[in-house]
Amino acid sequence: MKSTFQIAFILFTLCCFSQSGLSDEEYNRSGAAKILSVQNAKEAESLAKEDLKAKTPFLFIQGEIASVKYPTDDQFKKAYGIYYHDFGCVAIDSKISTAYNNVIFNYLTATYGKKWMKTIRKDVIGLKKFKPGNGS
């Protein structure tokens, strides 16, 4: 029984933390690994800009108990170079995650126009209130 629990825990952990497709080193340098320690929106915006320069930008999602990955997530990543990060049941400050995501939204709009808005996951934090051209 104990080994069954351990195996289930390991598999669950792998599913949760391997969602991006980045190496451990790339992920650990990214904003996705650092965002929970950010104190304000300006820091979140800086992280997003650093991630864009490093080509490891994310869009943050506040999920449920377990992270969910859809087949279209990989299509979005391939088309726009943006990874999704679903926090599952871990609470993240919506002002901080929205500030980060807005930088990425504005990058997408400046680079691709509005066509990305048709294929993005609708559960991305801050998407419903995003207005192209506002913010960083």
Q: What percent of the chain has pLDDT over 90?
A: 59
Query: How far is residue 52's CA from residue 80's CA, in Å, rounded to a whole number?
Result: 11
26 pLDDT band, cuts 50/70/90, is confident
- The reported pLDDT for the residue numbered 64 is 73
- Residue 17 has a pLDDT of 43
Q: Is 50 exceeded by the pLDDT of residue 61? A: yes
Tokens read off for 89: 């049941």
DSSP 89: T
In a domain, 133, yes or no: no
Cα distance between residue 30 and residue 57, in whole Å: 8
Range of the domain at 77: 2-118
Does 128 fall in a domain? no
Q: Is there a domain that residue 92 lies in?
A: yes
Of 20-24, 117-121, 129-133, which has the strongest mean pLDDT?
A: 117-121
SS3 99: helix
Does the pTM exceed 0.75? yes
Please give the tally of structural domains in the chain: 1
Contact 102, 134 (CB under 8 A): yes
SS3 60: strand
Q: Is the pLDDT of residue 68 over 80?
A: no
| Dihedral sign of CA atoms 64, 67, 72, 77 in order | positive
Strand (E) or helix (H) holding 97: helix 94-112
Q: Kindly report, residue by residue over 39-56, the tens digit of the pLDDT.
A: 999 999 999 999 999 999
